Amino acid sequence: MIKIPLIDASNYFKGLLLLIRKDRQLAEPEIQLMKRIGEALGFENKFCDNAIQEILENKYIVDAPPEFSTKELAMKFIKDGLKLASSDHEINPLEEEWLKSTAEKNGIDMKWFLQERETSIMRKNSDAYLEVDDLGVQY
């Protein structure tokens, strides 16, 4: 298990919330994955439920791609982001662009991103594993 700082855990969860609001709708698979991700990161269920339900209407969250303390963590985030974006059986172009900008902000090669995108599409979300499952929060 990789221990990550609380700020990275917060950015991970918030970043994925921003991702799911890109297409302006919340699908049930996205909601379930976000709950699982929040739990894996150690956030309380009520906090996660509220954040998920309010994300479409919350105008006060800055819609900037997250920056992580390590490239490895950013890559895990992008892999989970691709699974989340494809959980409703399509990756919306706005979701893909936002994940690309996250990759750029964290110094990740676009070739790697495109390869992960293709892998994610071919997998069609049959893989229940999430990268966040390997993370633990360091308090």
| Distance in Å from the first CA to the final CA of the chain | 15
Of 11, 132, 30, which is closest to residue 84 (Cα–Cα)? 30
Distance CA 113, CA 100 (A): 7
How many domains does the chain contain in total? 1
pLDDT given for residue 58 in this prediction: 86
102 touches 65 (CB < 8 A): yes
**Is the pLDDT confidence value at 28 over 70?**
yes
Range of the structural domain that residue 101 is part of: 2-138
Cα 137 to Cα 139: distance, rounded to the nearest angstrom:
6
Q: Where is pLDDT greater, at 138 or 7?
A: 7
Q: Report yes or no: 33 and 131 within 8 Å, Cβ to Cβ.
A: no
Residue 75 CA to residue 107 CA, distance in Å, equals 10
Three-state SS for 138?
A: strand
Model confidence band, residue 126 (pLDDT cutoffs 50, 70, 90): low
- What is the predicted pLDDT for the residue at 121? 74
Which pLDDT band holds residue 5 (cuts at 50, 70, 90)?
very high
User: CB–CB of 64/82 below 8 Å?
Assistant: no
What integer pLDDT is reported at residue 52 of this predicted model?
Answer: 95
What pLDDT is stored for residue 138 in this prediction? 79
d(CA 45, CA 36) in angstroms, rounded, equals 9
Split at pLDDT 50, 70, 90, the class of 43 is: very high
Query: Which tens digit of pLDDT belongs to each residue from 85-107?
Result: 998 778 899 999 999 999 999 99
